[in-house]
Structure 1
């Protein structure tokens, strides 16, 4: 995967890799968010607007800006996704998107997250890589009355969290679960070979983009 961004936000080390579709001359709708919040929390998210071109890119910018605004106002992840869903459902032309967002609280190392039809978060800890349980929540833009449940875990020191769009794991003629397992295997190998303090960078380097025909975004985060 191509572009890499690494930064530290409110006690969380964050790295992102982003790649556009090989064949696409148009902008896509994949996006990520890493926003420091009042009180020391951090909002982490990735999302994917269906399609390419100006409509997808414009919607992506709008969703990202709205999520930032709502997170800064103190809304929880489930409330944020419900608001984004209503925003898309009000449009005269159907626009669909998926997203996962989590509020990390360094004070107690807790992550509270919600998802809208999106792929599960991965958690790497002590040589193991697991798929987190998925709270219920349909894709954005389908049902204006949809509700988005939340889940909560404690992220221990040394844990690594990964959020990603389907371009990272999707493969032709293979189930999406197989692609997710492929990413799990990539990260597991990265943990075995990474030097101390380099887990996040190595995990991003070892993640193989499985669908060159789609945009791909991978965000990794670990408490400092």
Structure 2
């Protein structure tokens, strides 16, 4: 999937999860980039939620993105857990013997018990928005894809309450030239908090996507928001 220059979509209900996505690319000439997202129903009733970021821009990064996204889709549909999915993507990228690297976060939400199980590969933390505020989830260990073929990817699990939202994003959303990336994550959390406070319950998801700032216009950016209903 090649992401358009500006792609904003409210994808509706996926197995009881409301999803919205905003993606933008830095290379306006090629109109493709290396960031991707996945939000899809799985055969057992779970929902796959993921974002990824291939180093670089343009067609080379986009070609790698398409391959990684396709493998993540296939393995998740086959029932693989997030940690195993990322390990397979890492081995695939390492076998290519290039300097291409990628980061990703892959989550599997189970509507039956409202739990999210996720793993990360060198990626930024998922943000969790609750009635008490917005804060990062625990980050299970996992290095970037394409570094070490023997790398392992631990998983973490959290149970969500009604009305809570999750935000996955790439560094183009939060990275700024004159500020540390941790500050950018805090800025995104504040954007989400304000959007949730000012929007009606049914509009919170889209309002959060609309109001979140763009960190670095010279980098691809992808922001996925999910709200179990």
How far is 1:24 from its partner?
4.2
Secondary structure at the aligned position of 1:28 is classed as: coil
Which of 74, 79, 84 aligns to 2:79? It is 74
Match of 1:133 in 2: 138
Match of 1:25 in 2: 29
Query: Is residue 156 from structure 1 mapped to residue 161 from structure 2 by the alignment?
Result: yes
What is the correspondence of 1:1-224 to structure 2 with a 5 Å cutoff?
2-7=6-11, 8-21=13-26, 24-26=28-30, 27-224=32-229
Secondary structure at the aligned position of 2:56 is classed as: strand
How far is 1:95 from its partner?
1.4
Secondary structure at the aligned position of 2:90 is classed as: helix
Secondary structure at the aligned position of 2:223 is classed as: strand
CA distance in 2 between counterparts of 1:52 and 1:171 reads: 17
CA distance in 2 between counterparts of 1:54 and 1:211 reads: 19
Aligned residue pair count: 223
Secondary structure at the aligned position of 1:183 is classed as: helix
CA RMSD of aligned residues (A): 1.2
Matched-pair contact (CA < 8 Å) for 2:57–2:220: no
**Could you list the per-position Cα deviations for residues 30-62 of structure 1 after superposition, in whole angstroms to 9, with x for gaps in the alignment?**
000012101210010000000112221111000
How far is 1:3 from its partner?
2.0
**Could you list the per-position Cα deviations for residues 60-80 of structure 1 after superposition, in whole angstroms to 9, with x for gaps in the alignment?**
000000000000110000000
**Could you list the per-position Cα deviations for residues 97-144 of structure 1 after superposition, in whole angstroms to 9, with x for gaps in the alignment?**
000010000000000000000000000011410111100000000000
Q: Which runs of 5+ in 1 are unaligned?
A: none
Secondary structure at the aligned position of 1:152 is classed as: strand
Matched-pair contact (CA < 8 Å) for 2:166–2:226: yes
CA distance in 2 between counterparts of 1:31 and 1:162 reads: 14
How far is 1:2 from its partner?
3.6
CA distance in 1 between counterparts of 2:28 and 2:201 reads: 38
With the length of structure 1 as denominator, give the TM-score of the two structures.
0.97
